[in-house]
A and B are shown apart, each in its own frame.
Chain A
Amino acid sequence: MHERLPGLGAMTRRSVARRDPRILGGAALLALAFVAGCAAIPASGSAPLPPTGEGSPPRVEPTTRSTPAIVLPPGATLETPAGHRTEAALGSYTYRGAGSDSPWLPADTLDRVDVSAGASLTICLTDRTGIASARAVVADAADRAGEETEGVAISGPDPTGALLLTAPPRGSWVLMVLVEYAGGSGSAAYYWRLETS
């Protein structure tokens, strides 16, 4: 019985190898990337992910009176090299015709992420919404309004949808990652507190 390669459907190791060793090598890299990048990360309390598709139905939170439900964009998680995942706090966003505006989110309202300076960080959305582009800035954690921000190099998305960035130098920081979703469906600002040592 042939062993299946993740992400390659019905293709088997033997059939791949017969086609071209270079294909096997590339496929293995891709498979490893899927293991190491963004796996399916459901948001807390969200429905199971759909099997295919560009994105997922928007998260909808009912309100207490007869007003339209809140349309929320996907959540995001930041993962450290040690494998710890931390969910982002959601700032301003626009998503599928709706949106919400917020100030800069100060450090004391954010979940703390302890990480080494210069460590590789991975950011994933909690559903399969595509990412068109992303930018990241940090501000000193003592800067409660984000008055002095500086850019942080961020790359991606990789084939798994992961954004990759390097932890800033030693200190206490607020990290804001601004993600623009594929297909023009909107954008969102995600925040974390980074403690780098």
Chain B
Amino acid sequence: MSQPRSRRTHAPLRRAVAPLLALVATAFLVPAAETHAPDPVVGGALWTQNQLVEYAWRVGQVPPAWLQGAIVDAAADSNASRAARAARFALDGSSQSLIAYGEPTGCSPNGIACFNRAGAPDSFAMWFRRQGYVFDWGTLRWCQAYLDPPDGCFDAENIALDEFGHVEVLGHHGNYSDGSDFDDAVVQTVSRAKPRHGWDAHRYGRCDVATLQLAYDVPTLASPYSTCLDLVTGLSLAVSATSVPYRATVTFSSRLWVSNRDDYERLAGNPVSERLIRLQRRPIGGSTWTTVATLDPDDSPGSYAEALSLTASGEYRARFSKPPDEGLRGDDSAFVAITVAPCTSGCPVWAP
């Protein structure tokens, strides 16, 4: 049974209990602070890593040539800028994943484009409103429909890339209140028209990429991590001997990995290869570290090694400094003390 819709409710009572409500609410409120983080996820099944997902035009709602080109370009943009093992998209006439133009759509009344990924990992659907569709907020104009796109038109390639991002798994990015971080994502809550900043972005932003990496992993162990991430790393150091004769060669071996945390999803525990790992030394019991070598990448994933001939006892650690261009935190290994025996023959002659 439907209930009548009341526009006026128990206002006097509400005013009377407002202080009490505030008191109760204080105990339960969850801060809705301004945050900056990887995009949320839409939910549902993921595609398999690097899955080739083909799409076709819906019969009877085939996009016009100008829109087809924009959609194909957006699929290529997604493939080129995903920086993760996310799905790849390609046009194939026999696919069950269908992209449609014009009515009817799966879009809400104010929606210019929309998607449904409930069929993942087998299929998806995508719709684009037709050129000239009249909304309450105005008439839809796709820039690609014009030789000289007017202000107020929407770049179909940008909007299609947003939709492909949703199909991957991306939800709308949470921007700062002033929108100053709009470049960090293509998958946005507010679609921008020409000429607003970001209206024609054709690459995923760093916070789109961050979520794709969390969900699907980085392409290789040497690939950079999105700067929208802030991943804790682990670093170890092992030595071939801790007590050696004078001038003996000691091999220093280090491993670097992404910490094994649940919220790191696919990235948890990843070995991290091809980074700069420094070997540092201090006198035993000393406090000042000095870099004495760089550890070379080893054949094993995330491994680094270097052999040094030692002439004095000391404490050693490996250091991974936070790279300026990726979302990994720096870390220092635990230190290892190495005792070097005094020189007994062929020793250097010290000046008096």
> Do A and B form a real pair?
yes
Specify which chain A residues have a CB less than 8 angstroms from the CB of B120 in the assembled complex.
97
Docked complex Cα distance between A97 and B47 (Å) = 13
User: For B191, what are the chain A residues with a Cβ–Cβ distance below 8 Å?
Assistant: 92, 101-103
Q: Is there contact, CB below 8 Å, between B28 and A159?
A: yes
User: Is B107 in contact with A70, judged by CB distance below 8 angstroms?
Assistant: yes
- Asked if B34 and A135 make an inter-chain contact with CB atoms under 8 angstroms apart, the answer reads yes
C-alpha gap A127/B275 in the complex (Å):
50
Identify the closest chain B residue to A39 (Cβ): B9
Nearest A residue to B13, CB-CB: A35
Could you say which residues of chain B place their CB within 8 Å of the CB of A145?
A: 192-193, 196
Residue B271 is within 8 A (CB to CB) of chain A in the complex: no
Please name all residues of chain B whose beta carbon is closer than 8 Å to the beta carbon of A151 when the two chains form the complex: 34, 176-178
With A35-B13, A99-B166, A100-B114 as given contacts, are A91 and B190 in contact (CB-CB < 8 Å)?
A: yes
Q: Given that A44-B5, A81-B11 are known contacts, is A35 also in contact with B17, CB under 8 Å in the complex? A: yes
Residues A32 and B11 in contact in the complex (CB < 8 Å), given A103-B193, A155-B29: no
Beyond A63-B105, A81-B14, A97-B43, whether A92 also contacts B190 by CB under 8 A is yes
Query: Is B32 an interface residue, CB under 8 A from the partner?
Result: yes
A90 to B109 alpha-carbon distance, docked (Å): 8
Q: How far is the CA of A99 from the CA of B108 in the complex (A)?
A: 8
A146 close to chain B: CB less than 8 A? yes
Query: Are A158's CB and B28's CB within 8 A?
Result: yes
Known contacts A67-B105, A93-B108, A151-B34, A156 near B29 by CB under 8 Å: yes
Distance A99 CA – B118 CA, assembled complex (angstroms): 11
Of A68, A82, A85, A106, which is in contact with the most chain B CB atoms at under 10 Å from its CB?
Answer: A68
User: Using Cβ atoms and an 8 Å threshold, which residues of chain A touch B172?
Assistant: 92, 94, 178, 187, 189
Give the complex CA separation of A156 and B3 in angstroms: 26
- Whether, in the assembled complex, A72 has its beta carbon less than 8 Å from a beta carbon of chain B, the answer is yes
Q: Is the CB of B108 within 8 A of A102?
A: yes
Q: Is A11 an interface residue (CB 8 A)?
A: no
A135 partner, pick from B32, B116, B135, beta carbons under 8 A: B32
Contact B21–A94 (Cβ < 8 Å): no
Contact A178 B174 (CB under 8 A): yes
CB of A103 within 8 A of CB of B106, answer no
> Once the chains bind, are A67 and B193 in contact (CB under 8 Å)?
no
Distance of B79 from chain A, by nearest CB (Å):
21
Residues of A with C-beta under 8 A to B3: 42, 48
Bound-complex Cα distance A30 to B23 (A):
10
A37 and B103 alpha carbons, distance in the complex (Å): 40
Query: How would residues 93 to 133 of chain B score, 1 for a CB under 8 Å from any chain A CB and 0 otherwise?
Result: 00000001001111111111111111010000101000000
User: A-contacting residues of B (Cβ < 8 Å)?
Assistant: 1-3, 5-11, 13-15, 17-18, 20-21, 23-25, 28-32, 34, 40-44, 100, 103-118, 120, 125, 127, 135-138, 154, 159, 162-163, 166, 171-172, 174, 176-179, 188-193, 196
Q: 24 pairs across A/B with beta carbons < 8 Å? A: A35-B14, A36-B10, A36-B14, A36-B18, A64-B104, A72-B108, A82-B11, A83-B7, A83-B14, A84-B8, A92-B111, A92-B190, A96-B43, A97-B44, A99-B114, A100-B114, A102-B137, A103-B154, A103-B190, A135-B34, A151-B177, A157-B29, A162-B25, A180-B40
Which chain A residues have a beta carbon within 8 Å of chain B's beta carbons?
29-30, 32-33, 35-37, 39, 42, 44-45, 48, 63-65, 67-72, 79, 81-85, 89-94, 96-106, 109, 120, 132-135, 137, 145-151, 154-159, 162-164, 178, 180, 184-187, 189
